[in-house]
Amino acid sequence: MNNCLKEKRLEKGYSQLELAEIAKVSRATIIRIEQGNLKYLKSDTMLKLALALDSDISDIFFKDFVMQTQQNSDISGDYEVEEGR
């Protein structure tokens, strides 16, 4: 799983152990996530980590996906909606 957990953790100045304690997950979980050794991650674990880092889940775990989606769509353009369609 590609993620920015280590980057966000270091921005906050937390060690792996400190983040694990704040998020109430194991240090081993933090290590596996940062090393990309987890194929699946529970949504509640993602939420705990995002809250502990005062960040959005998407900024930590789906940053590449969000950036690719934004590049593939014109989200900054103006759109006109016709009534009755």
Question: Can you point out the beta strands (E) in 6-66?
Answer: none
pLDDT value of residue 83: 54
Enumerate domains of the chain plus CATH numbers. 5-72 (1.10.260.40)
Question: In sequence order, which residues have a C-beta less than 8 Å from that of residue 56 and are 6 or more positions away?
Answer: 50
Is the alpha carbon torsion for 26, 31, 37, 39 positive or negative? positive
* pTM of this prediction exceeds 0.75: no
- pLDDT by residue for the chain (85 residues), tens only, comes to 678 999 999 999 999 999 999 999 999 999 999 998 988 899 999 999 999 999 999 999 886 654 444 445 555 555 454 555 4
pLDDT of 1 reads: 60
